[in-house]
Amino acid sequence: MAKCGYCGSGIIMGGVRAGAERYCNQKCRNNAAVLSMARHIPQEVFEQQVEAVFHGNCPKCGGAGPVEAHKVHQVWSALVLTQWKSRVQVSCRSCATKSQLGGAAFSAFCGWWGFPWGLILTPVQITRNFMGIFGGPKGAQASAALRRLVLVNMSSQLMQNASRATPPPLPR
């Protein structure tokens, strides 16, 4: 099974190619491109931002952290059509658990109705949610996933600032 060149998730089918790399979707491909700006960010500034996010308040409920990057998985099916997705949510553990339980419940009710992929992927996505609930990021330090999200966000802001600072071309 192929792995995403940005987030490391397994790619069962499809994905987006860019040269020799393969990505889950266009968003992961764009995030990988944004990371090329990361070399312009001082390490101390990056570490301060990671700590600020990790020890800050939850963006979903406003409660105390730690704040981490958690994955929520869903699948839905209708006859021969099946769609599945995994998204990253930056939140406290409590908000992540609620979202993962919601993703598992959604998949349990809406995932089974497609043949053959609905029958195959529904237990996979439900299991992935429960693995996130019971084995998700825990620790006194930010996970690699949260660090990558902070780096992408900082690089993206750096790119936006650079594009605003570039004067428009002169008319001919």
More confident residue, 79 or 36: 79
Contact in structure between 32 and 9 (CB atoms under 8 Å): no
Whether this model's pTM surpasses 0.85 = no
* Mean pLDDT of the region 97-126: 96
Of 33-37, 43-47, 73-77, the least confident: 33-37
pLDDT tens figures, 121-145: 999 999 999 999 999 888 889 999 9
- Number of alpha helices (DSSP H) and beta strands (DSSP E) in the chain: 5, 6
Closest CA to 153 of 23, 17, 22, 50: 50
List of residues 6+ apart from 11 with CB closer than 8 A? 1, 2, 3, 4, 22, 23, 24
Q: Looking at residue 32, what is its pLDDT? A: 84
List, for residues 50-99, the tens digit of each pLDDT value: 999 999 999 999 999 899 999 999 999 999 999 999 999 999 999 999 99
* 130 neighbors 105 (Cβ within 8 angstroms): no
Cβ neighbours around 137 below 10 Å, total: 18
- Across the range 31-36, mean pLDDT stands at 80
Show the 3-state SS of 52-92.
Answer: HHHCCCCCCCCCCCCCEEEEEEEEEEEECEEEEEEEEEEEC
Write out the H or E segment, with its range, that includes residue 21: strand 21-23
The domain spans of the chain are: 1-38, 41-160
Start-to-end CA distance of the chain, whole Å, equals: 52
1 compared with 87, residue with greater pLDDT:
87
* Whether residue 48 has pLDDT greater than 90: yes
DSSP 24: S
Mean pLDDT is lowest, of 30-34, 47-51, 95-99, for: 30-34
